[in-house]
Structure 1
């Protein structure tokens, strides 16, 4: 089967594109801009990356019986039961003052390699178990987890895209392919939409 018609290769390609697109949203920003909460619930760019690192460690590790090799660097990741100490609640959604941005970014890049080892080693129908789903966990396949994680990452990449736009106006899908129409007068466009909204 060629790569073009290989479902696992397709899912992995989209997963990697999403990972890279997410990190692109952090390029060139200061430590403060990366950490500053941008929503009433504290959403921030660096926290999104820290969160998805944990997502991939759990889903491509714990689910398939693999341990992250250095658990001491990810204390915020829940135990298999889902129990989290109170002082670590929401700890995966922000970087502490002792966690430089480059440390979080490096962690996530290493997580890619860890996750890809699972993806490469197993067929799509390989069984796994998510202990934190439902009452007593749920049986899954690698295919299910690839789709689940890709959907989760896409959602967070969308959050990051909007957050970045509020910082400096930079938008787009991927480095080198922003997927935005050229030549549009954005202030006039948003004024038009505002005028329509104001009629209601």
Structure 2
């Protein structure tokens, strides 16, 4: 594969992995906030789909015929990061697929050195290439997939990209509990060692 095909492959894979984090969950679980700042699974999918439409559409003069009201000037802050009660899971999944298809068409149509402009970036950084934006979207999607990995594990204990993920150690529930306990014990021991060292330094 050439460089564009490699980047496109990684972007497609991370998109699919992110969308799969919704599988098998209730309406509540895909929407509920699990961090103090409100991070939630369906909101992550909505956000990634929305920004990709801009970065691989508008930036290269290929705007999509799609209204994203959560990006309007009068929209509530962070409205792209959560789903209102009247926004359905199906609508957001369809947006994700629409965004992916529109982005794929841009990637296929343009060479890596194609030039675009990001109007919401500072003036000195606005001129970009497709190569740069492909890297940007791979990183952005992977970052939010990492968030989604943690949220899904908090919801139902699912971990890894898929059942049998070779990157995840195979342990029973009891073995995972023991593993976690060892990490907790190590953290507490390190904290106690640091406390003792600080007290010794004060006495010296």
Give the TM-score of the pair, scaled to structure 2.
Answer: 0.88
Q: How does 1:14-163 map to 2 (within 5 A)?
A: 14-71=10-67, 74-77=68-71, 84-85=73-74, 87-135=75-123, 138-163=126-151
Contact residue 45 and residue 163 of structure 1 kept, 8 A: yes
Per-residue deviation, 1:69: 1.2
1:195 aligns with 2:185: yes
Distance 2:103 2:25 in 1: 27
Q: Secondary structure at 1:128's aligned position in 2?
A: strand
Unaligned runs of 5+ in 2: 192-204
Distance 2:30 2:105 in 1: 29
- Which consecutive segments of 4 or more residues in structure 1 shift more than 3 A? 174-178
- Partner of 1:81 in structure 2? none
Distance 2:13 2:122 in 1: 30
Per-residue deviation, 1:175: 6.2
- Partner of 2:176 in structure 1? 186
Higher helix share: 2
Contact residue 171 and residue 178 of structure 1 kept, 8 A: no
Contact residue 131 and residue 137 of structure 1 kept, 8 A: no
Provide closer, same or farther for how the CA distance between residues 47 and 68 of structure 1 changes in structure 2, counting only shifts above 3 A. same
Q: Secondary structure at 2:71's aligned position in 1?
A: coil
Give the TM-score of the pair, scaled to structure 1.
Answer: 0.89
Provide closer, same or farther for how the CA distance between residues 153 and 92 of structure 1 changes in structure 2, counting only shifts above 3 A. same
Per-residue deviation, 1:174: 4.4
Q: Is the radius of gyration larger for structure 1 or structure 2?
A: 2
Q: CA RMSD in A?
A: 1.5
**Greater length-normalized contact order (CA 8 Å, ≥ 6 residues apart):** 1
Unaligned runs of 5+ in 1: 79-83
1:12 aligns with 2:2: no
Distance 1:28 1:113 in 2: 24
Q: How many residues align?
A: 188
